[in-house]
Each structure stands twice: as structure tokens, then as C-alpha cells.
Chain A
Amino acid sequence: MSDKISVDIGKDFSRYPAGRTEKYGPYSGEAFRERFLRGPIEKGQHVVVLFDSAVGYGSSFLDEAFAGLVRLGVSGARLHELLTLRSDDDSLVQEVWGYVDDEEKRRVN
């Protein structure tokens, strides 16, 4: 499947994303991953994620939303292939890929 899906975190999910798991908050990384990323990625769809309309992100949210997919069995390489991360803040995009790549190293080792 080659359809591209675009997700604007601040507009489609929450302007105030926070936390790791749904148990502790409705706008957690886990909630975002399950609602917007996991299904399309498992179907092989390309997802463009837009970061800049949310107020900010903590590492727990970012790690769980993106590296959490690696923990669920999606390889880091597959994520690099299917995910496009867009932000004016390059360090934010690098940070997310850092979490994904670290998780991939852990998975492989």
C-alpha cells in the first residue's frame, strides 16, 4: 500500500501531549501510537508526522510513541522507510530517531 497519511499531532491528537502510557493520561505516547501510527505502519502505509502545532514534548511521550513501535516488533529500518517526521526544530526529529535507533540496537543485541 502506498497511500500517505499525514498526522498533525497538535491538531489531530492534542496540543498538550504528555506522558508515556494511557494508564496515566489520555494524551500519552502510547495513546498516540495506538491511534495514529501502529495500524498504518503495520499495513505498510507511509505516515507523515507533523510536530510543530503542539506546545512541546517530553522524552517519555516521544520514546513511547515512536520507539514503542520497535518494542512492538517493527524494525528500525522499516520505520525509517515508512515514517517522515517534520518539525522546524531539527533536534526534535533527531531526538525521535535517536530513540528509535537506540531501541533497535537493544532489540538486535
Chain B
Amino acid sequence: MMLEDLFKRERLSARRLRKRLTRKKVLEERNERLAVLRLQAEIVRAPEWFYLLKNNARNGVLGFLRELRDMAAAAPRITIDFRGTRKMDAGGTILFYAELHRLQALFPHVRFGCLPSRTNKVNQVLQHLEIFRQLGHQSSVTPRLPDVVSWRHASANLVDCKSAGKVIEAYESLSHPNAKLLYRACSEAITNVLMHAYEDDRDDGLPTPGEKRWWMFCREDSDALTMMVCDLGIGIPRSLPAKHAGEALGKIVSAITGGAIANDASMIEAAFELARTRTQREHQGKGLSDLRKIIDANNGARLLLFSNKGLVIIDSGGQPVKYGFTDSILGTVIGWRLPLESIGPTDAQQVVL
């Protein structure tokens, strides 16, 4: 009996040993695979604040997008680390949203992933805008906050404004005349994208996409309704001289700058001025005037036009105010902000998709 017991124990031990060795081998192989994957995975840290109006925040957003472009062109996997992101403003977010779409279209073989934010509201935004889904991240976060679920978005590669129009129509707080003016502004912004924005390379070193795409965000919070239209084209400072090669542009730019070299903001202002003065002379080029109409019709409304390194802000009844930045957004973001007390007869209502 004792001999039999010993034999059984030894056999069991041998089995355990084999099991241990197999497990060790499996673990070693897994660790090796993970090490390779870790080497391949590139982590890009998202900025704390997706915002374009303040220098520091803007530099953070643009640095992040530059890194994202570089990685997409070189790495097989990219993980976007949102852990430190605390705030997402519409302007910075639409630029990121557009850039992500563009990179995923240009580099379909790159696998994107993400680490969610430590801020619940940011995760709600990322979930609601389907950015988590785009990044292959399954999140159980349910968007609930009123100023998160009121975000709506549209995108296309034609002047087909059905999706944009439906977004605008969904905001019941907009009065009928304002809905028409907002649609006018949006459709002209989109027309400009298709006709002028993608006429040359974007100067970011990446291949030029075959399509002329635009992206649109709309959002209602307790104070205002905000609409943004974005393209990743050459920007107004580059498209304007191509479109208006004559003396008129030179004269207008010179009047704006006082003879000094024009920066990007001066070129944006010149575009508005050209649109204003062309009504009697040429049938094209009036579109930018349409962008202003809704601002002039609503007290307290504001138009923001970011293009490359420039920004022009126009408040209702006011003159354009120019701002220059050191870094380019490599595209154009146009924003309209309408205070809720002026845009309709009813109070702000929560709109759920």
C-alpha cells in the first residue's frame, strides 16, 4: 500500500510539475506578447481642456492633435489618454472630433483605443458624441446631464444640409425666423467649405483626403445655443488670395492693416469686408455676409471665426475684433452663440436625442 501511495504521489507531482511548467510557459509567452504590444501601442495624452480661445489651452489642444497626426502616420496602435481631461468646450472638441474622423479615414489600419477621463462629465460627452465608440472603447457611462445630451452633430462631404437642417430644427427653443437664419448661416458655411476649403494640401504632411468633409456641432446649455461648423482645409487666409487675385483684396487688406504685413486674422476680416462690398458687383462671394445675419438679428449674439492662426469675433451690432495666435488650427471653425433670451419665445428646453 505504501509503495502504491508513493507512486501515486510521484505521478501527481509529475503532473503538477508539468502543469506548473505549462503555466509558466503560457505566462512567459503572454508577457512577451504584452511587451511587444506595449512597444507598439502609442499613448497620446489628451489636453486638460479642449478650448481654443485661451493661449495655453489652445496650445495644449493643438499640440495633442499634432502628436495624434504624427502617431497615426507612424504607429500601428494609438491609445488616447483622456484621464487628465476635465473640460470639453465646443470649439476644441469639434476640432478634435474632425481630426479623429480624418485620421481614421486616412489610416484605416491604425487601431485606436482610449483611457477614459476621471471626470464623469467628460466621459458623458465622449459617450454622447460616440467618440468612445469610434475609439473602440465600451463604456457603461450614460449621458444624462442636460448640457451634454443637448449636443447634436452632423457631418457630410457634400453641400447636403439635410442632417444639419434636422439638427437645427430639433431645438424647439429657436424661433422660426432664427431657425431660418441659423440654417442660412450653416448652409453658406458648408457651401464655402465645398467650394474653397480643400483646394490645396493642408500643410500637415499627411496625404490629402479625397473628400471635402465638414463637421457640425450644435449645443444648448442654460444660457445659449451654440452652433459650430468645422473643416480641415487650407483655411481662409490661404483660400482668399487664391479666390480673389485682383487689386480689390490688396486694397482691403492694406486698409485693414494700415499697410503692414497681413496676419491670418487680418485676412479673415478682409474676407468679411470683401463679402460686404461685393453685393452689387459680383454674383459670388456673398456667403460670408450670411454668417453675420443671425448675429445682427439677435442682441447679445456672437460670431467666432477661427481660421489657421487667426480669430475674428463679431458681436451683434459690433465691428470685427481680431486676435492672432502662434499656432495654426490647420482649418476653419466657425461658431455662433445665441443667448437664449433672444432666440425664442420659450425658455430653454432639454432636448434629448
The reply to whether B188 and A60 form a contact with Cβ atoms under 8 Å apart is: yes
The reply to whether A60 and B158 form a contact with Cβ atoms under 8 Å apart is: no
On chain B, the residues within 8 Å of A17 by CB distance are: 161, 187
The reply to whether A60 and B287 form a contact with Cβ atoms under 8 Å apart is: yes
B202 CB–A CB distance under 8 Å = no
B180 CB–A CB distance under 8 Å = yes
Shortest beta-carbon distance from A55 to chain B in Å: 4
Shortest beta-carbon distance from A92 to chain B in Å: 9
Interface size class of B (residues with CB under 8 A): 20 to 34
The reply to whether A56 and B191 form a contact with Cβ atoms under 8 Å apart is: no
B30 CB–A CB distance under 8 Å = no
Q: Which segment, of B8-16, B142-150, B162-170, B254-262, faces chain A?
A: B162-170
A67 CB–B CB distance under 8 Å = yes
The reply to whether A18 and B191 form a contact with Cβ atoms under 8 Å apart is: yes
B54 CB–A CB distance under 8 Å = no
The reply to whether B160 and A59 form a contact with Cβ atoms under 8 Å apart is: no
On chain B, the residues within 8 Å of A19 by CB distance are: 159, 161, 187, 190-191, 194
The reply to whether A25 and B184 form a contact with Cβ atoms under 8 Å apart is: no
The reply to whether A55 and B168 form a contact with Cβ atoms under 8 Å apart is: yes
The reply to whether B195 and A24 form a contact with Cβ atoms under 8 Å apart is: yes
A33 CB–B CB distance under 8 Å = no
On chain B, the residues within 8 Å of A103 by CB distance are: 283
The reply to whether B286 and A63 form a contact with Cβ atoms under 8 Å apart is: yes
- Neighbour of A27 across the interface among B161, B180, B195, B283, CB < 8 A: B161
The reply to whether A59 and B180 form a contact with Cβ atoms under 8 Å apart is: no
**A20 to B187 CA separation, bound complex (whole angstroms):** 10
Main SS class of interface, B: helix
The reply to whether A59 and B161 form a contact with Cβ atoms under 8 Å apart is: no
**A13 to B131 CA separation, bound complex (whole angstroms):** 34
Shortest beta-carbon distance from B261 to chain A in Å: 32
The reply to whether B194 and A59 form a contact with Cβ atoms under 8 Å apart is: no
Interface residues of A in 29-67 (CB under 8 A from B): 55-61, 63, 67
**A102 to B284 CA separation, bound complex (whole angstroms):** 12
- Neighbour of A24 across the interface among B158, B162, B177, CB < 8 A: B158
Shortest beta-carbon distance from A102 to chain B in Å: 6
The reply to whether B194 and A16 form a contact with Cβ atoms under 8 Å apart is: no
B289 CB–A CB distance under 8 Å = yes
The reply to whether B194 and A24 form a contact with Cβ atoms under 8 Å apart is: yes
The reply to whether A59 and B287 form a contact with Cβ atoms under 8 Å apart is: yes
The reply to whether B283 and A57 form a contact with Cβ atoms under 8 Å apart is: no
On chain A, the residues within 8 Å of B212 by CB distance are: 24
**A67 to B168 CA separation, bound complex (whole angstroms):** 28
On chain A, the residues within 8 Å of B164 by CB distance are: 16
On chain B, the residues within 8 Å of A56 by CB distance are: 165, 179-184, 187
B140 CB–A CB distance under 8 Å = no
On chain B, the residues within 8 Å of A67 by CB distance are: 283
Interface string of B267-298 (1 = CB under 8 A from A): 00000000000011001101101100000000
**A62 to B166 CA separation, bound complex (whole angstroms):** 20
On chain B, the residues within 8 Å of A60 by CB distance are: 187-188, 191, 284, 286-287
On chain A, the residues within 8 Å of B286 by CB distance are: 59-60, 63
The reply to whether B159 and A102 form a contact with Cβ atoms under 8 Å apart is: no
**A42 to B297 CA separation, bound complex (whole angstroms):** 38
On chain B, the residues within 8 Å of A89 by CB distance are: 177, 180
On chain B, the residues within 8 Å of A16 by CB distance are: 160-162, 164-166, 183, 187
Please give me the residue from chain B that is nearest to A24 by CB atom: B194
29 contacts between A and B (CB under 8 A): A14-B162, A15-B162, A16-B187, A17-B161, A18-B160, A18-B161, A18-B191, A20-B159, A24-B212, A25-B191, A26-B158, A26-B160, A27-B160, A27-B161, A55-B165, A55-B169, A55-B180, A56-B180, A56-B182, A58-B191, A58-B287, A59-B188, A59-B286, A60-B191, A60-B286, A60-B287, A99-B283, A102-B279, A106-B283
Known: A15-B165, A16-B166, A25-B160. 7 other contacts (CB 8 A): A19-B159, A27-B159, A56-B184, A57-B180, A58-B183, A59-B184, A71-B283
What 5 pairs across the A-B complex have the smallest Cβ distances? Answer: A25-B159, A19-B159, A56-B183, A18-B187, A56-B180
